[in-house]
Structure 1
């Protein structure tokens, strides 16, 4: 259940005008992340949300990526998320079987949350991070986010409130919202508005942004069920069990690790609509159970896999994040996680401008950075979707045949399933490899960022890349030392850095210098790395420039930027 975020959480929208620095439309994981990130930076935020306080979300995302967990660590709620979801000892594995209760073909071993920080030997246990991934359904994740938001000053959530439209002027935006219980319309004045309002985003429509790409890749008939007897039929339960047989291929996701399950029936080409497929027969074929097996449908969560990216992420004082900006097949959980990356990117840029230490042009970096990488990652997801669909559609008839011939088929299919899918469920490249190569506020040095795949990446200090992981002398991860603005990582304590520190202070920039143990310099490649608060490298070198002013100007969006309202 959603705890009350603060005293204003369930207050009716009754005042004629309410004022906030940023208005966020939508209180899902992306909107809440953005709002918390802004509020913790001292920016006042109002969120409007159509759901009632405590109304649960649908059972959508089941995976919080390592990179998202790093963000939640910075926001102070990583452990809170770790402590909820599946039982502490429930296997987070991905199991490939003929049916959910049938013969196991292969298994991707992923540690349970009890062992998440200590496990070794798995495909995602040696990643360069202090925060590995976390398997948790959105119905457990969102209440934790709401509870955390309750303790943050300057953040209010207006439940049962619908956004309708907004107008923009020189001094900000005025949004019209409506209380869904009373029907009363009112206005909210803010400096900026951000649409985190999902696939049918009204904010996206208001800024004339259009989704482009592939509208239909696959239809998935998805059903949330209560089946307390299912776990006893599984000889070795898993977080995700994927059924591969010639009749019906599907996915069974453990929601509570006991009796609630989400079943995805991946429709075949000949299945024209959701309604044309017998839901009950499909569920039983995926589970591998007969007509006497009892279960109850809790909700129908049917969805269409797409690859759609908006042609703009911003217009003037309005921005879009998450599903409002991009939709694709939910492989690797990268719908919600990409939205969380959007949110943390935008939060610090808005705060930099609103706090007065960066030029308005710094806001241009949001679309310049996030739109290209979103386009690229969406293609990774689409390519993976095509391979997985092909695998599901070519399951040999002999896969359930007893004897040596069946054994050989099962071994081949199981290994192929492992090799393909370990890339998406243990996707180090998507977590740590993406970079910004065309940002107006990054000081590039001519070096090319290393390429990455869904599964693989090369740590690099090349500007635009994620700051390479390192540990400080006290054992903390370097990311824990990054401040709210820029942090200079010094790998040689004898290098003078005061000229840059003075230039930053003169502009009011939150700035810190952190010394890194000498043993870490090899991974860095340079003696000085300037990191942004979002962990991306903004500049690197072996000495501070004689005149650091041009560098500081570029980082703050002041290189040739107009001193005017947002364009």
Structure 2
């Protein structure tokens, strides 16, 4: 008998596992398959920004991610030198001071921190949580083929330890990497700058605790005749990664040769070092021209491959599935028509393309990218606007006529299509009450729509109750001013913390929800 499930996810990386957790939170049973037997052993992405951590916080994983990232909590900043032993902090330029000042304000705009948490550390946290919450997680199981029609997707799955079997799903999420067999099977072309550079990551074990005791770094640029690149902290003690160009001769270098190369760039001739693995990778920009095809949706690297600066690809992947999961859930529950799913590509494609394009402005190995930041010669941007101020051009929201949000500074102002600004509901902040439980306006999102009102909510109580939408009034004058609401105004918040409707709109709340869900909204008596 063929198994049938609402959603099949292929790919057990950050995108796939986060999608599974978000769907489970929405009450949607998903099956996740991954051809490898375990999560990736490679550090890969490490810097997960505040917006991604807001997603983990919404999944009650904030403490687990904080614990996983604790070993690198004090590893900040960037070094440069000919070897790690002689590397020094760079001279602080005016451009760097300006950048530091902008980054310093980001903590005020979110209830969650930015963390250094290597992907090989984060993914087991996500997998454990998914399995503990009842998600069917099937590693060592490969999707070998699939077909789709108007009723669903039929997949042929091949476990490593038993015979292949069929599984039917209403929808398929392809989070199967930049070489996505699913995307290729669908014939979806990709656009962008294409190939930028060939790179090689060398993971190794060596106790460098004393060497880095007074210079705990996030990244260290190395310019050395033997090999130039960048050191990456994995656990801050004995696990490290050296990322370099795939230089001539690397393919024939034997194990002793690799150990000697690492001793040279570390700057310790007698270093006891163990090479754990080597991973060639392509720095490139490839963005799928369509993020959806019928009942199949691309997410993460399958949809957009980009250079790894600031873990842009992984953070974009989390935003992808945060956008998609609630829409799939609404359609599967019958509260929205399938037309809502068209807004996934409409919203995510322009953002992913712009992010990939920006990340590609500096090409080369990781050291080159880091140097562009420390020298102040890299592309300029406002980090708060990039992380918190992004606005969708069109999609599942009702424009209120105010025009687009600024891109050169933070100022979403509660516009529909932007992430709701953060404010503590209890009037405290982390400085005033570090041990007190706090709830942010961002935390109010999900699992369904939520209506945020000013302190005078009499105008909205009956309508929100009739529509089955929870109502929370926010008595925070600064926040009301920021989002341009009077005391009796309201915002409709999507499950992904994006503002869907603002009460200054010409369209009423009930009609707005019908348009958002592309389906008439039931009203209780």
Q: Provide TM-score, normalisation by structure 2.
A: 0.86
Go from structure 1 to structure 2 and tell me whether the alpha carbon gap of 1:457 and 1:279 turns closer, same or farther (over 3 Å shift): farther
Is residue 43 from structure 1 mapped to residue 28 from structure 2 by the alignment? yes
Deviation at 1:246, TM superposition (A): 6.0
Cα-to-partner distance string for 1:255-278 (whole Å, 9 max, x where unaligned): 1211110111145xxx46853887
Structure 1 stretch 370-379 or stretch 470-479: which is displaced more?
Answer: 470-479
SS in 1 for 2:84: coil
Cα-to-partner distance string for 1:274-323 (whole Å, 9 max, x where unaligned): 53887556534532343x33311100022110011001111111111001
Structure 2, unaligned stretches of length 5 or more? 93-100, 428-437, 521-525
Structure 1, unaligned stretches of length 5 or more? 1-15, 109-119, 393-412, 560-567
Q: How does 1:158-557 map to 2 (within 5 A)?
A: 158-182=138-162, 184-228=163-207, 230-234=208-212, 236-245=214-223, 247=225, 248-266=227-245, 271=247, 274-275=250-251, 283-290=262-269, 292-385=270-363, 417=374, 419=376, 427-439=383-395, 441-452=396-407, 456-473=409-426, 475-494=438-457, 496-498=459-461, 500-501=463-464, 504-505=467-468, 510-526=469-485, 527-542=489-504, 545=507, 548-557=509-518
Task: Say if 2:43 and 2:121, in contact at 8 Å, map to a contact too.
Answer: no
Task: Say if 2:76 and 2:217, in contact at 8 Å, map to a contact too.
Answer: yes
Go from structure 1 to structure 2 and tell me whether the alpha carbon gap of 1:494 and 1:130 turns closer, same or farther (over 3 Å shift): closer
- Computed over aligned residues only, the root mean square deviation of the Cα atoms, in angstroms, reads 3.0
Deviation at 1:26, TM superposition (A): 1.1
Q: Quote the Cα distance in structure 2 between the aligned partners of 1:427 and 1:121.
A: 7
Go from structure 1 to structure 2 and tell me whether the alpha carbon gap of 1:387 and 1:135 turns closer, same or farther (over 3 Å shift): closer
SS in 2 for 1:99: coil
Cα-to-partner distance string for 1:415-463 (whole Å, 9 max, x where unaligned): x716457979x94333212221121x2111232222336xx53342121
Task: Say if 2:259 and 2:273, in contact at 8 Å, map to a contact too.
Answer: no
SS in 2 for 1:104: coil
SS in 2 for 1:301: strand
Q: Quote the Cα distance in structure 2 between the aligned partners of 1:472 and 1:316.
A: 41
Q: Quote the Cα distance in structure 2 between the aligned partners of 1:100 and 1:389.
A: 13
SS in 1 for 2:107: coil
> How many positions carry a matched residue from both structures?
495
Deviation at 1:493, TM superposition (A): 1.2
The corresponding residue for 2:435 is none
Cα-to-partner distance string for 1:182-224 (whole Å, 9 max, x where unaligned): 3x12110111011111112122123221222223212222100
Task: Say if 2:286 and 2:306, in contact at 8 Å, map to a contact too.
Answer: yes
Q: Quote the Cα distance in structure 2 between the aligned partners of 1:388 and 1:124.
A: 26
Task: Say if 1:482 and 1:532, in contact at 8 Å, map to a contact too.
Answer: yes
Q: Quote the Cα distance in structure 2 between the aligned partners of 1:536 and 1:369.
A: 11
Q: How does 1:553-564 map to 2 (within 5 A)?
A: 553-558=514-519
The corresponding residue for 2:117 is 136
Stretches (4+) displaced over 6 A: 386-392, 421-424
Q: Quote the Cα distance in structure 2 between the aligned partners of 1:133 and 1:423.
A: 20
Deviation at 1:497, TM superposition (A): 1.3
Deviation at 1:376, TM superposition (A): 0.6
Go from structure 1 to structure 2 and tell me whether the alpha carbon gap of 1:77 and 1:418 turns closer, same or farther (over 3 Å shift): farther
The corresponding residue for 2:53 is 69
Q: Quote the Cα distance in structure 1 between the aligned partners of 2:338 and 2:238.
A: 52
Go from structure 1 to structure 2 and tell me whether the alpha carbon gap of 1:531 and 1:384 turns closer, same or farther (over 3 Å shift): farther
The corresponding residue for 1:11 is none
Q: Quote the Cα distance in structure 1 between the aligned partners of 2:416 and 2:383.
A: 22
Q: Quote the Cα distance in structure 1 between the aligned partners of 2:221 and 2:265.
A: 6
